[in-house]
Amino acid sequence: MVLATLPVLAVLLARAYAGSVHSRATHSSIVLENGAEFGAYHPPTTFEVFEAGIDTPLTARAEKRSFKDNALSFLHDRLGSEAVQYRSGYEGEVASHVYVNQHFHGIRVSNAMANVAQNKDGKITAFSSSFLRNPRKIASSTPKLSSQQAVARATAQLGGALIPGREIHLEYLAIDSGNVELVHVVPVEVDGLRHVLAYVNAATGDAVSVINQSFDASFRAIPPSLNNPNDGFSLIVNPEDPLASPNGWTTINGVNTHSTNGTNIRAIIYTTKATIPESSDDVWDSTWDATVQPTVSANARAAAINSFHLANVIHDITYRYGFTESAFNFQGNDPVIVNVQSTITTNNAFFSTAPDGTSGQIDMLLWTRTNPRRDGDVENDVMAHEWTHGLTTRMTGGGVSTCLDAFEASGLGEGWSDSFADWLAQTSATLKDFELGVYVFGSNLRTKPYSVDPARNNYTYSLLQQSSNDPHFFGELWAELLHLQLDALVKEYGFASDAHTNPDSTAGNVVWLHLFIDALALQPCNPTFLQARLAWIQADANRYNGANKCLLWGVWAGRGIGINADSSHVDNFDLPADCQ
């Protein structure tokens, strides 16, 4: 797959870039659809690691020190206290990290950065810096052009439009002449698709630099609407959603890991704990061979790439529909960790939930019913099912991840997970019957397919009267109900092929996913089927002013969970009076 790099500063050239001699470590280029080429410059970066860790100026002090203060004392010592401006930082499980920018006159230099990592003992284990040592000339800190004037100049020069909702910043920018220019940083959409940051000289109005924020990416993976190796792998180019993942899938705090490790997802081979590096510049590729064991090196690599790709796709889809940072998603300091080909057991898959701020963990396992064995990492509906547990446990109860523990609530959780995998697999207005896990298991993991045909699935609310102790079994009722809701909405409003990235569509499959996610935030901790049904109806009232009330009630009542259903789990087929 092709992944994003550390924000690349691209200098807009008035002449052709071809033929210029630049180091690949400090320069790159991007080309717009109209053929205009932009060169990119990064000040040279130094990088040091200290295996056992080294002390900071605060080490000898008796009082407890914060990881931020400790790191800044080291950075001030190395770079000068007058040069360092704190940008961000966080504490991880085994290390803490602090990121800073160089600044002049209190204004940060956008492309002059430094960062340190320290272990739990407070010792520095890594340090990098692209700070400028002796700038030739530093521009005045007072802009001659306003931000509004800079927007006009940027959009005119790049042939684009200001990106709505994005802020304009005043910053310094180092350029390869050795000068430091004062610039307005203007977010612009060009070519009708690509997002860039234009650095407009605050004195002259010239666009002196451009950052490409639409990152080219290619993943050899099974497309999300397909399911397993029998459907085929494709080289999928540019799958990252610029809204949900503006820095791409392999960046952490602006630093490109060049591996299956990013702000949303960290996919590792369980037995080695290693992420998968790129196979060439920003490309993740491997060939799947079904005739050999999935643990063969090339297959393990293909499995990790597929899991990383799909988990990020689902992150980006659900982000569009409301599962954002403020809604307790997995992003930033709490990405989902995917253990590829986990050996904790076989013939299953697991999501280990965690409260907001702590990473959830997915264990994808090998299945032993065939020879060669089969790998859940390359069956998309298995990953989609597990990932959705993270969505539902985070959004129910406000990020605590403890509100789907009651038995009925647990059954709902299993049903939601099957349902999202079902939604992801649909490709047209004629819904396909859906079965889960057929590739790894050899047949449907559930007792019946999810189907609009009552001859294939006739489950009703009274199913909950049965004595099974398996929440998956009762989840089948909820997933069947949501399959029918999806069918009803698609029949009413049609099917949108761009539903993954266009939540503003009025198509039925888009309406369905909005109700799915909106209802999670409405329902109580440990909801019952009746309460989850009520939250679904209320979600429609909140978002669509109740336009679909009777259509939705028709589905609920049709399977015995009507307006007068109660906790006895006796089928009730009554509609509300205003829907009769």
Please report, for the domain that includes residue 162, its CATH number. Answer: 3.10.450.40
Residues 370, 469 within the same domain: no
Structure confidence at residue 267 as a pLDDT band (50, 70, 90): very high
Percent of the chain having pLDDT more than 70? 89
Which of 194, 212, 230 is the last residue in one of the domains?
212
- What is d(CA 440, CA 228) in angstroms, rounded to the nearest whole number? 9
The distance of Cα 550 from the centroid of its chain, to the nearest Å, equals: 35
**Class of residue 534 by CB neighbours under 10 A (exposed 0-12, middle 13-18, buried 19+):** middle
CATH for 490: 1.10.390.10
Omega prior to 372 cis, within 30 of 0: yes
Residues 445, 480 within the same domain: yes
- What is d(CA 102, CA 510) in angstroms, rounded to the nearest whole number? 45
**Class of residue 295 by CB neighbours under 10 A (exposed 0-12, middle 13-18, buried 19+):** middle
Q: Which pLDDT score, from 0 to 100, does residue 47 have?
A: 59
Is the predicted pLDDT of residue 13 greater than 50, yes or no? Answer: no
Residues 375, 473 within the same domain: no
- What is d(CA 400, CA 398) in angstroms, rounded to the nearest whole number? 6
Instruction: Provide the annotated binding site.
Output: 216, 385, 389, 414
Structure confidence at residue 8 as a pLDDT band (50, 70, 90): very low
Count of domains for the chain: 4
Q: Which pLDDT score, from 0 to 100, does residue 194 have?
A: 66
Residues 488, 556 within the same domain: yes
pLDDT tens, position by position, 459-507: 999 999 998 888 899 999 999 999 999 999 999 999 999 999 999 999 9
Concatenated DSSP letters of 500-536: TT-TT--SHHHHHHHHHHHHHHHSPSS--HHHHHHHH
Which of 163, 196, 212 is the last residue in one of the domains?
212
Higher pLDDT: 535 or 8? It is 535
Q: Which among 386, 435, 476, 480 is annotated as catalytic?
A: 386
Residues 355, 457 within the same domain: no
CA distance readout (Å), 412 to 63, 389, 437, 438 = 50, 10, 19, 22
In a domain, 249, yes or no: yes
In a domain, 124, yes or no: yes
CA distance readout (Å), 346 to 364, 366, 474 = 9, 5, 23
**Class of residue 294 by CB neighbours under 10 A (exposed 0-12, middle 13-18, buried 19+):** buried
Quick one: average pLDDT of 191-209?
84
Quick one: average pLDDT of 189-207?
83
List the one residue out of 63, 67, 64 whose CA is nearest residue 99.
67
Higher pLDDT: 54 or 406? It is 54
Residues 26, 90 within the same domain: no
Residues 196, 82 within the same domain: no
- What is d(CA 564, CA 68) in angstroms, rounded to the nearest whole number? 58
In a domain, 391, yes or no: no
Structure token pair of residue 7: 């924000």
Residues 183, 70 within the same domain: no
CATH for 306: 3.10.170.10
Instruction: Provide the annotated binding site for Zn(2+).
Output: 216, 385, 389, 414
Q: Which pLDDT score, from 0 to 100, does residue 270 have?
A: 94
Residues 176, 158 within the same domain: yes
Residue 443 and residue 541 in contact, taking contact as beta carbons nearer than 8 Å: no
Q: Which pLDDT score, from 0 to 100, does residue 19 have?
A: 30
Which of 212, 236, 256 is the last residue in one of the domains?
212
CATH for 89: 3.10.450
Q: Which pLDDT score, from 0 to 100, does residue 25 have?
A: 40
Structure confidence at residue 7 as a pLDDT band (50, 70, 90): very low
Residues 70, 123 within the same domain: yes
Structure confidence at residue 1 as a pLDDT band (50, 70, 90): very low
In a domain, 400, yes or no: no
Degrees (nearest 5) of the Cα angle 215, 216, 222?
Answer: 115
Quick one: average pLDDT of 325-351?
92
In a domain, 169, yes or no: yes
Predicted structure pTM score: 0.69
In a domain, 307, yes or no: yes
Residues 427, 485 within the same domain: yes
In a domain, 4, yes or no: no
Q: Which pLDDT score, from 0 to 100, does residue 192 have?
A: 63
Mean pLDDT of the residues in the chain: 87
Is the predicted pLDDT of residue 445 greater than 70, yes or no? Answer: yes
Structural domain boundaries enclosing 570: 407-579
Higher pLDDT: 115 or 501? It is 501
Q: Which pLDDT score, from 0 to 100, does residue 217 have?
A: 57
**Three-class secondary structure of residue 323 per DSSP:** coil
Residues 144, 170 within the same domain: yes
- What is d(CA 180, CA 166) in angstroms, rounded to the nearest whole number? 24
386 is catalytic: yes
Structure confidence at residue 94 as a pLDDT band (50, 70, 90): low
